[in-house]
Homo-oligomer: A and B are copies of this chain.
Amino acid sequence: MGVNSNRVEDFSSHRINTESVMPGIEIHTVCLSPKKTTLQKLKQRLSEIFFPDDPLYRFKNQTWRKKLLLGLQFLFPIFQWAPEYRLKLLRSDIISGLTIASLAIPQGISYAKLANLPPIVGLYSSFVPPLIYAILGSSSHLGVGPVSIASLIMGSMLSETVSPRDEPIRYLKLAFTATFFAGLFQASLGLLRLGFVIDFLSKATLVGFMSGAAVIVSLQQLKGLLGISHFTSKMQFIPVMSSVFKHRDEWSWQTIVMGFSFLVFMLTTRHISMKRAKLFWVSAAAPLTSVILSTLLVFCLRSKTHNISFIGHLPKGLNPPSANMLYFSGPDLELAIKTGIVTGILALTEGISVGRTFAALKNYQVDGNKEMMAIGFMNMAGSCSSCFVTTGSFSRSAVNYNAGAQTAVSNIVMATAVLVTLLFLMPLFYYTPNVILGAIIISAVIGLIDYQAAYCLWKVDKLDFLACLCSFFGVLFISVPLGLGIAVGVSVFKILLHVTRPNSLIMGNIKGTQIYHSLSRYKEASRVPSFLILAIESPIYFANSTYLQERVLRWIREEDEWIKANDGSPLKCIILDMTAVTAIDTSGIDLLCELRKMLEKRSLKLVLTNPVGSVMEKLHQSKMLDSFGLNGIYLAVGEAVADISALWKSQPDFPEDCNETGQCRETKR
């Protein structure tokens, strides 16, 4: 190679050369990034991976005292807003707190049933966790408590192994232990700043998953709504449907009439609230109203309605401690950990996305990793005080937001209302019919079936729609964790497919400009004679280097055929526009090397334009820069075309005689 080490030094220095064979054309040298040691690069890379939001920027240039205060506020966001809390905010917080309490109490009881747990556990779970979130959480609008999806999954995963009816204590222990591990997992994700793990549950996956779960949950509620007492504990479509129709003799018309009337009532209020946002309280109050009305009804008609089952005795009093029920060994441990991780990640997904949604509406930011820690600690504390998995619930947060909540005080108000209920009002739920709980669950989850979002996915991105379908049918027909796994697999496969089969295209010049663009997209773009300008739209990796080699050779073959058919001037130079090649690995470098050699044998020159910083660096480290030489790499396609054309004009016999361009110019000077 005629390019000596001096020249390579030129690359590393940060100057824009303006050198050219012909006067009038200004050519810029491509620079390397500033030099960094491996350690510096590693540090930068790790900080991008774990601290993309630079969470400690507030601490910079502060006094020690200020830093201490900021640190306290960082760990306990309550110290951030509490000192600025004004009494006039209290009114809004009390109103919204009481509103969500009216929703939280019936939902708590219902979701506990969904998880096959005693109803009282649902109320316990609406008391301790909101208080802890108020101290640790950074969202002002999140309404904390049990949620349908996490309850459903906990219920379905645990009851596949342990029957809640036959072994209630073992089941309860399992549930608390799973809650503990869910919290531990969530807090660790936040602490280790691995929050991006939940990003792999894409929106498409979640739309399908939620819809599937909503369908299966609704179908399962037919047990209560139809008054069936023998029902499968499985969570798949087929066993559930066969349970419904196998026990037709157990259907009770009183239960059916009552259940469906209240269901219609709640769906109507839901519809009203959706039409007019101001009437949000109509649907927010509906569950409690239904509970009260149905309880009264059952109480009054109790002598005539033997068929309608009701909740029965609920113990009065605060959350009993349950730390002694957690276990960290034994054969059930694996199940508890597995359930904890799956419910934990789904609870997290809902909590974080709800928090972000309402933060965006009020234009503040929620730190995902901090929220994870808050939710995680809340669940760990919950597992020691008879609570099961809780997180930020979408329905409750929406009501909270609409009712005008200003700070986390609304969660404290809600917890107080639940406290009063626990201490004094429990006997009132004695006659609450189970059928109403089913109706509440259905009316809550029906909103999760988001067919509009699915249609939108179909229209915009077919592969996203496929992921959505996979998770929908996976949840419905196979099982919840497997359905979710398949959908994540499809999403990851989509990323890999994009890398494995990247797009490449021929570019042409838009007349009168230095802009080069896709020939097929811009009819005004025209081929540059003797040049083939290819853009590669993907990093060049081991996974696509073989493909890209074949594809580039095919482009060249097709171009040759086109030239033959159109009597064009023969091809002399291939320009690879590397603007969109955002990374390269050793296989990619081998590809470029190989390609250059193959083209050289056909007397074709290979030129790269505009490699990004990291690619340039790897080219330099692998000594490829030396072999390409100074005029093998240009800053822009326009400059490459101008410079090489000028070179050809000055040396008409150049491309045949001399392939090592750098060498030629070196010699001729």
Interface residues, chain A, with chain B CB atoms under 8 Å away: 14-16, 26, 28, 31-34, 38, 42, 48-49, 52-54, 57, 196, 199-205, 360, 363, 365, 368, 456-457, 459-464, 491-492, 494-503, 505, 510, 512-515, 517-518, 520-524, 537-539, 541-547, 550-551, 553-554, 557, 579-580, 582-583, 585-587, 589-590, 594, 597-598, 601, 612-614, 618, 621-622, 635-636
Closest to A515 in B: B636
Distance to closest chain B CB from A139 (angstroms): 15
Assess whether B521 is in contact with A34, with CB atoms less than 8 Å apart: yes
**Which of chain B's residues have a CB closer than 8 A to the CB of A48?**
501
A494 to B512, CA, bound (A): 42
Assess whether B580 is in contact with A582, with CB atoms less than 8 Å apart: yes
- Contact check: which of B363, B499, B512 meets A598 at CB < 8 Å? B363
Closest to A617 in B: B460
Assess whether A503 is in contact with B28, with CB atoms less than 8 Å apart: no
Assess whether A502 is in contact with B459, with CB atoms less than 8 Å apart: no
**Which of chain B's residues have a CB closer than 8 A to the CB of A551?**
52-53
Complex copy number for this chain: 2
Closest to A453 in B: B586
A390 to B117, CA, bound (A): 60
Assess whether B33 is in contact with A520, with CB atoms less than 8 Å apart: yes
- Given known A-B contacts A456-B622, A498-B539, A199 and B598 have beta carbons under 8 A apart: no
Assess whether B204 is in contact with A542, with CB atoms less than 8 Å apart: yes
Assess whether B613 is in contact with A518, with CB atoms less than 8 Å apart: yes
Assess whether B543 is in contact with A495, with CB atoms less than 8 Å apart: yes
Closest to A361 in B: B597
Q: List 29 A-B contacts (CB under 8 A).
A: A15-B523, A26-B512, A26-B513, A28-B513, A33-B521, A38-B462, A42-B462, A52-B501, A52-B550, A53-B551, A196-B547, A199-B544, A201-B542, A202-B541, A202-B585, A459-B622, A460-B585, A460-B618, A460-B622, A464-B585, A495-B499, A495-B539, A495-B541, A498-B583, A502-B582, A503-B614, A538-B582, A579-B580, A580-B612
**Which of chain B's residues have a CB closer than 8 A to the CB of A546?**
196, 199, 368
- Contact check: which of B28, B514, B545, B601 meets A199 at CB < 8 Å? B545
- Contact check: which of B461, B495, B618 meets A461 at CB < 8 Å? B618
A537 to B581, CA, bound (A): 8
A93 to B297, CA, bound (A): 98
A618 to B463, CA, bound (A): 13
- Contact check: which of B28, B457, B495, B518 meets A495 at CB < 8 Å? B495
**Which of chain B's residues have a CB closer than 8 A to the CB of A582?**
498, 502-503, 537-538, 580
Distance to closest chain B CB from A587 (angstroms): 5
Distance to closest chain B CB from A371 (angstroms): 12
Assess whether A199 is in contact with B524, with CB atoms less than 8 Å apart: no
- Contact check: which of B202, B502, B542 meets A203 at CB < 8 Å? B542
Instruction: Identify which of A360, A491, A541 gathers the most chain B CB atoms within 10 Å of its CB.
Output: A541
Q: A199-B545, A203-B586 are in contact. List 18 more A-B contacts (CB 8 A).
A: A14-B521, A14-B524, A28-B515, A33-B518, A49-B497, A52-B551, A196-B546, A200-B542, A201-B542, A202-B543, A202-B585, A456-B622, A460-B586, A460-B618, A463-B585, A537-B582, A579-B579, A580-B612
